[in-house]
Every structure is written in C-alpha cells, then in structure tokens.
C-alpha cells in the first residue's frame, strides 16, 4: 500500500501499517520531510513513533519517496493523507492538496486501484474526487475512491492507529472494496474493533461530527466557567459532579484555555461552511458560538494578565509555560498558548516562553518572542507566570522552589491543573478560569 502525504497523520499511518506487516511506501511532495523519514528521523514529536519507523525501515517493509510514478506501480491500495487546511479568507476547507493527489496519481495507475481517503474533508468530497478520477483514469483502469476517516489523537498516534476504537469505511453503492479493507485492517478486526461500513457521505460526516461534538463539550464547560467565576462557584467541582453522570462523562470537561491545533478549529469552521453551501447553515450556527467561546478564553487569560500587571502590560515580565497546542506534542498550529504569548507581547509585555518539545516550531511561528532553554531559565525573574499547556513537568512544578526563582509569586493556571491550595500555601497568588481562588 502507499500512504500519500506523510505529515502527522500519514507518517504515523505509514509506519504503523508496516508494523502490522504490510509493505508500505510513503509519498510526500516535501523532499526534506521524505529525506528525514528515510533516515529514520520523525520530523515531528510523536511518542513511540521513531522506534516503529526505524524498525520497519530496517526490515525493508517501509520506504519513502517523492516519486508518484514509483509508488503508482508499487501498490493497488493508496491512502490519501494530505492536509485540508482552512482556506485563506474563508471558513471552508482548502481541497487543493486532495485534488492534486488525484490528478497526479490517477493518470499513472494501471489495473484496479482503491484510494482510501483519510484526510478530513467536507461531505461530498469523495464523490467529487471519484468524478475526477473517472475522467483521468486510463482506459481499462478502474479507480475507486472510498473514505476511511482517521480518528488518531496526536500524542497517542501510534496506539490509536494500531488499536483504534473504531474503523469507519464509506463505500459507493455496489462497491466490492470492503474485502480489501478487511485485509488491510485484519489485525484490528481480529481484535474485535468495531467496523462501521456505510456510504461515503456518512463516513465523511462522522469525522467532522465527532470533532464538532468534542469542541462543543469543551466550549460548554468554558461557558459555564464564566458563570462560575462571576457567581463565586468552582468549575472544577462542578465538572467532577456532572462528569459522574455517565451520559455526560468527565472527559473534555476541563475548563481552561480551550482547544486549538490543526484539527478542531478548522474542522468546525469547514463543517459550518459546508452546511452553508448545502443550504443548512442554521443547523450548525451554534458552532459559531462554540468557536467564539473558545477564542474568548484566550482573551480572558490576557485580561487576567493585564489585571495582574496593574492594568497595563507594558514592560511586565511574563513567563508562558507551554507553546504546543496540547501536551506531548510539538504541534503549534492554532495553539492557544502561543496565541496568548503573542497577544501579551504585542501588548508590550516582556514574554518568555518555554515548551519541552515545541520550541523550534514556536520560534518559526512567532520569532519575536523570547524562548529559553530551560523551565528554570524561563521562570527566572518573572513577575507573572501563565501555565498555558498542561505538560507533566509544569503540573509537577514545586511551588516553593519556583517561588524562589520568580520576582513575584503570581500564577494564572490557564489549564486548571495545579493544586491551587498547595500553591497558595507556598505564598502564591493563583488565578484560574472558572474558579474564585
Ligand atoms: N493530525 C492529526 O492528528 C489528524 C487526525 C485525524 C485527521 N487528520 C486529518 O488528516 C489530514 C492531514 O493532517 P496532518 O495533521 O497530517 O497534516 P500535515 O500538514 O502534518 O501533513 C500533510 C502532508 O501532506 C503533504 N502533501 C501536500 N500535498 C501533497 C501532495 N500533492 N502529494 C503528497 N503529499 C502532499 C504535505 O507536504 C504534508 O507533509 C488533514 O485532513 C487532517 O484534518 C489529522
């Protein structure tokens, strides 16, 4: 099989498919990325991936290339895993990369081929790509497009690919591709992973619906957190209490700085845009509010920081702990932590940022911020500390030791992960979203 597009999703998928015993070729247009993957170097931080990559390069099951011609002849099953970012100036998904895979690959194919879309796309994309493929395919060549959306979570990419909690496959009417897909995922199916075979539209919608639900849950608790703060209630205790109801569940009820990354924000926007195109914009207008609540959390943290700086950020030395959009990742796409750091810096604060893995990516995105090599270096002389990404090393900071490093013991726990009482006992002034501390 081939995996086309070797970013966070594709590189992980390619390596894990080889780990499961398949012969895999990964393809990307980014030569530098392919060169790194070829030499066993994962171009991003994903726990456990490098070991699997190296093992399967060594045993010869996994190879990487930038040459579509080479891979077109290699396999009959092709995973499509290129990016679908938000279009500039619009909420809609940019399908340029997805379309160009079809126009570059399909004319090179001979015989019978199955393209399995993994990228997150607006409903109707598979059918559109099928029309394009039918137009471009050589005579006597059959190319089928099916959708097999991906649910992996960055930082859990390997386990989510090898042992997913479900596999979804969307097929066109009359398709016989299910058997092939059963072979691809034989080990997962043997382990009784739920396998949902449906039409392509449903498969496309499953992914955006899942992400929209998760985003809604996070914004729900953040909206309630705003009320908690005003009324003197505590959102953490509230979330624990409602989370015990198994119809609700405690996951994704962590009030704080909200969601970011390369998926949730762009996926809910693309979902709204597609609903509008289909004449159903009212059905999803609540997602606009979900998005607004989410973005407001970033402003609220900046507002807290302004208040703690006496109403004016100018010259305040602020340490932002975290740059990645979530812990155990180096992904800074639409990162709430970096957004806050950037806003504070633009407001005149002297901002110092530390993240265990995302420094290089953060530097590229926001070159004007100051980045320090150690957490201690970042904290030295700070007049305000903001915990913006809940890495374990930040959660486990010793408040007494840290109090010795900073100029003023004031912390905003923007992820609600610290033991506020312990920090207060060590002499800290603690602020958190949704809590009156
Ligand atoms: N990152 C995740 O956790 C995750 C999870 C589920 C779904 N997804 C979806 O998967 C898709 C990819 O996401 P990602 O995070 O891996 O993005 P990414 O930007 O990390 O990777 C995309 C890759 O595609 C390559 N590419 C672009 N055009 C190409 C072409 N014509 N041929 C070959 N390669 C090409 C790029 O060079 C890049 O390496 C998106 O639709 C995303 O929404 C991502």
Residue 198, domain member (yes or no): no
Contact 363, 290 (CB under 8 A): no
Q: Hey, what are 364's tokens?
A: 């590229």
Q: Indicate if 328 and 397 belong to the same structural domain.
A: yes
Ligand 1 centroid to Cα of residue 357, in Å, is 20
Top mutation candidate among 35, 64, 81 for ligand 1, by most atoms within 8 Å of CB: 81
Domain of residue 283, residue span: 206-437
* Closest atom of ligand 1 to CA, residue 149: 7
Cα–Cα dist 149/342, whole Å? 34
Q: Does residue 405 register a pLDDT over 90?
A: yes
Prediction pTM value: 0.96
Residues 242-300 pLDDT 10s: 999 999 999 999 999 999 999 999 999 999 999 999 999 999 999 999 999 999 999 99
Enzyme catalytic residues = 263
Asked which of 158, 193, 228 is the last residue of a domain, the reply is: 193
In the chain, how many domains are there? 2
Confidence of residue 338 (pLDDT cuts 50, 70, 90): very high
What mean pLDDT comes out for the span 5-13? Answer: 98
Beta bridge partners of 4: 27, 80
Cα–Cα dist 69/264, whole Å? 34
Beta bridge partners of 410: 429
Contact 381, 318 (CB under 8 A): no
φ, ψ at 240 (rounded to 5°): -60, -45
Residues 154-205 pLDDT 10s: 999 999 999 999 999 999 999 999 999 999 999 999 999 999 999 999 999 9
User: By percentage, how much of the chain surpasses pLDDT 70?
Assistant: 100
Residues 117-140 pLDDT 10s: 999 999 999 999 999 999 999 999
Q: Indicate if 325 and 406 belong to the same structural domain.
A: yes
List binding-site positions for substrate: 151-154, 207, 252-256, 260, 326
pLDDT the model gives residue 17: 98
Residue 131, domain member (yes or no): yes
Q: How far is CA 18 from CA 23, 63, 72, in A?
A: 6, 10, 18
Whether residue 82 has its Cβ less than 6 Å from ligand 1: yes
Residue with tokens 């639900």: 213
Q: Does residue 437 register a pLDDT over 90?
A: no
Whether residue 66 has its Cβ less than 6 Å from ligand 1: no
Write down the mean pLDDT value for the chain. 97
Q: Does residue 324 register a pLDDT over 90?
A: yes
The alpha-carbon radius of gyration of the chain (Å, integer) is 23
Residue 437 DSSP one-character state:
-
Asked which of 193, 223, 238 is the last residue of a domain, the reply is: 193
Residues 74-98 pLDDT 10s: 999 999 999 999 999 999 999 999 9
Q: Indicate if 189 and 237 belong to the same structural domain.
A: no
pLDDT the model gives residue 335: 98
Top mutation candidate among 8, 152, 361 for ligand 1, by most atoms within 8 Å of CB: 8
């Amino acid at each position: 099989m081939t995996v086309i597009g070797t970013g966070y999703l594709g590189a992980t998928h390619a390596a894990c498919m080889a780990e499961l015993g398949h012969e895999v070729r990964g393809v990307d247009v980014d030569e530098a990325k392919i060169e790194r993957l070829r030499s066993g170097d994962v171009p991003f931080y994903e726990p456990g991936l490098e070991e699997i990559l190296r093992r399967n390069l060594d045993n010869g099951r996994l190879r990487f290339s930038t040459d579509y011609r080479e891979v077109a002849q290699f396999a009959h099953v092709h995973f499509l895993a290129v990016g679908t970012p938000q279009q500039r100036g619009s909420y809609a998904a940019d399908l340029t990369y997805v379309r160009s895979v079809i126009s570059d690959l399909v004319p090179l194919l001979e015989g019978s081929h199955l393209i399995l879309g993994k990228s997150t796309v607006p409903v109707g994309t598979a059918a559109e790509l099928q029309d394009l493929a039918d137009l471009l395919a050589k005579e006597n060549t059959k190319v089928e497009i099916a959708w097999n959306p991906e649910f992996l979570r960055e930082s859990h990419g390997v386990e989510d690919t090898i042992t997913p909690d479900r596999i979804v496959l969307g097929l066109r009417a009359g398709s016989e591709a299910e058997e092939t897909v059963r072979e691809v995922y034989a080990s997962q199916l043997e382990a009784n992973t739920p396998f949902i075979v449906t039409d392509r539209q449903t498969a496309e919608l499953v992914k955006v619906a899942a992400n929209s639900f998760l985003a809604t849950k996070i914004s729900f608790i953040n909206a309630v957190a705003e009320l908690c703060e005003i009324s003197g209630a505590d959102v953490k205790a509230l979330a624990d209490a409602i989370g015990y109801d198994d119809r609700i569940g405690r996951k994704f009820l962590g009030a704080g700085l909200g969601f970011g990354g390369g998926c949730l924000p762009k996926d809910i926007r693309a979902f709204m845009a597609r609903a509008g195109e289909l004449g159903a914009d009212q059905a999803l207008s609540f997602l606009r509010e979900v998005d607004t609540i989410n973005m407001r959390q970033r402003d609220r943290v900046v507002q807290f920081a302004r208040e703690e700086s006496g109403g004016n950020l100018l010259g305040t030395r602020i340490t932002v702990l975290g740059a990645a959009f979530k812990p155990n990742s180096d992904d800074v796409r639409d990162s709430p932590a970096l957004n806050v750091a950037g806003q504070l810096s633009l407001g005149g604060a002297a901002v110092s940022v530390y993240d265990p893995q995302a420094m290089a990516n953060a530097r590229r995105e926001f070159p004007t911020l100051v980045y320090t090599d150690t957490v201690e270096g970042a904290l030295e002389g700070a007049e305000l500390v903001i915990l913006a990404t809940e890495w374990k090393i930040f959660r486990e900071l010793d408040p007494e030791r840290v109090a010795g490093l900073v100029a003023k013991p004031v912390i905003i726990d923007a992820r609600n992960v610290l033991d506020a009482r312990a920090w207060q006992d060590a002499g800290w002034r603690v602020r958190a979203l949704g809590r009156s501390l």
